[in-house]
């Protein structure tokens, strides 16, 4: 049976971004409804509403935070040209219909805008559809985070013999056990629904992709966990799609464009493996898909459960820091 631990590591950015985006949406909706309410209060109230000043302070802090997010977005530089990623690791030929930001700007998005912790992110850059910006909400919007995992050369002899139906049964069983542990620890349950896209391995080009549908208790919609991998001499380049289930069809339409975009440079190619000097990974294709590391599972479980409820905590923090936001952005007391 394959270990499911690393399965959660594939999820962490997706779930972080999803919940942090929901926080911003909740704030925007609250902002709009509050403004409309405040506009109608004077028409019907016989006496002044003593809570209006507090509400306006709250709105001021929320507006300041949105301005802060927008100010970060304004500093991000996009390109559609081919770029080198990593230390001459690979060439990324930006696919048609996409644009690329480098690792520095990717960290702005992942950490400052989407709320990931710094030690969770080691990005080589991100791809965005040309019609999607990281500071906006779009139902089928998605982004692709690019990372490199150097676990050793992954032998692929098992690829042709994997029964993905049986593999999914094992993964579901492991997820159930992980979910029981989460519940016992006081966190929300998680369910592996199934394949959103069955794994496919291109033996010739050493490219692998698959997608899983995951359900977190209390979430409004299921989470999409889509991974695209290019095997290398010492590991693999991973393109992790950050989005919801409603972006699945868009990704499937673009997958044939995305797959050839990463080209390992000479010396880092899968074919460049040297058995006398290079390390071999402790897992094959099946283990890579199922997940291989149990040690980090508890950590990710805590983070995911926290973020599922985070919007309330974050909103309170924004309101408490309203004065600071005003100083930063020049806001005035209403």
Q: Residue 334 falls within a domain, yes or no?
A: no
Residue 8 corresponds to which tokens in the numbers above?
């959660």
User: What Å distances lie between residue 55 and 34, 220, 334, CA to CA?
Assistant: 8, 27, 10
Residue 48 confidence (pLDDT): 52
pLDDT of the residue at 49: 52
- Burial group, residue 253, by CB count within 10 angstroms (0-12, 13-18, 19+): exposed
Collapsing DSSP to helix, strand or coil, 102 comes out as strand
Domain that holds residue 213: 5-329
Tell me how far apart the alpha carbons of residues 55 and 69 are, in angstroms, rounded to a whole number: 21
Q: Using CA of residue 37, residue 42, residue 44, residue 50, what is the dihedral sign?
A: positive
Closest by CA position to 214, among listed 186, 195, 238: 195
Residue 93: which of 266, 261, 268, 264 has the closest Cα?
Answer: 261
The C-alpha angle 189, 195, 197, rounded to 5 degrees, equals: 140
The winner for highest mean pLDDT among 32-46, 209-223, 274-288 is: 274-288
Contact 108, 121 (CB under 8 A): no
Q: Considering the chain, what percentage of its residues have pLDDT values greater than 70?
A: 70
Distance CA 20, CA 309 (A): 10
Residue 285 lies in a domain: yes
Q: At 298, phi and psi to the nearest 5?
A: -60, -40
Q: Is 145 a domain residue?
A: yes
Choose among 315, 331, 316: nearest CA to 64: 331
215: which 2 tokens?
């359900």
Between CA 178 and CA 189 the distance in angstroms is 9
| Residue 218, pLDDT score | 86
Residue 153, class by beta-carbon neighbours within 10 Å (0-12 exposed, 13-18 middle, 19+ buried)? buried
Q: Is the pLDDT score of 146 beyond 60? A: yes
**How far apart, in whole angstroms, are the C-alpha atoms of residue 297 and residue 182?**
10
Does position 307 have pLDDT exceeding 70, yes or no?
no
**pLDDT category of residue 316 using cuts at 50, 70 and 90:** very low
Phi, psi of 311 (to 5 degrees): -65, -35
pTM greater than 0.75 (yes/no): no
Q: Which two tokens stand for residue 121?
A: 């992110």
Confidence of residue 98 (pLDDT cuts 50, 70, 90): very high
Task: Measure the CA–CA gap between 155 and 200, rounded to whole angstroms.
Answer: 16
Q: Domain count of the chain?
A: 1
Q: What is the pLDDT of residue 19?
A: 55
- Residue 35, classed as helix, strand or coil, is helix
CB contact set of 138 (below 8 Å; sequence gap of 6+): 132
In terms of average pLDDT, the best of 86-100, 206-220, 241-255 is 86-100
- 162: which 2 tokens? 């994997």
Residue 250 lies inside a defined structural domain of this protein: yes
Statement: residue 270 has pLDDT above 60: yes
Tell me the per-residue pLDDT of 53-64, one tens digit each, with 9 for 90 and over: 557 777 888 888
pLDDT at 138 over 60: yes
- Specify the pLDDT at position 108: 93
| Per-residue confidence (pLDDT) for residue 291, from 0 to 100 | 82
């Amino acid at each position: 049976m394959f270990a499911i631990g690393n399965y959660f590591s594939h999820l962490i950015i997706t779930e972080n971004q999803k919940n942090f985006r929901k926080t911003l949406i909740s704030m925007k909706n609250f902002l709009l409804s509050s403004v409309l309410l405040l506009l109608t209060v004077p028409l019907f109230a016989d006496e002044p509403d003593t809570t209006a000043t507090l509400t306006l302070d709250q709105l001021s802090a929320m507006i300041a935070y949105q301005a802060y997010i927008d100010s970060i977005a304004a500093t991000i530089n996009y390109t559609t040209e081919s770029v080198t990623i990593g230390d001459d690791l690979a060439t990324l030929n930006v696919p048609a219909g996409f644009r690329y930001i480098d690792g520095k700007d990717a960290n702005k998005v992942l950490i400052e805008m989407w709320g990931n912790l710094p030690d969770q992110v080691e990005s080589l850059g991100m791809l965005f559809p040309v019609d999607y910006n990281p500071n906006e909400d779009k139902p089928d919007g998605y982004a692709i985070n690019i990372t490199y995992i150097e676990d050793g050369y992954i032998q692929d002899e098992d690829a042709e013999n994997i029964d993905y139906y049986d593999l999914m049964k094992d993964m579901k069983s492991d997820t159930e056990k992980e979910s029981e542990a989460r519940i016992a620890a006081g966190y929300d349950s998680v369910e592996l629904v199934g394949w959103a896209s069955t794994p496919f391995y291109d033996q010739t080009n050493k490219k692998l992709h698959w997608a899983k549908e995951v359900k977190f208790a209390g979430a409004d919609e299921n989470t999409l966990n889509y991974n695209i991998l290019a095997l290398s001499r010492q590991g693999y380049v991973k393109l992790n799609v950050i989005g919801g289930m409603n972006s699945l069809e868009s990704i499937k339409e673009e997958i044939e464009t995305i797959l050839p975009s990463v080209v390992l440079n000479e010396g880092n190619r899968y074919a460049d493996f040297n058995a006398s000097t290079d390390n071999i990974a402790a897992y094959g294709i099946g283990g890579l898909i199922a997940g291989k590391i149990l040690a980090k599972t508890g950590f990710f479980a805590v983070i995911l459960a926290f973020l599922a409820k985070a919007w309330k905590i974050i909103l309170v923090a924004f309101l408490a820091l309203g004065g600071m936001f005003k100083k930063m952005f020049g806001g005035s007391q209403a």
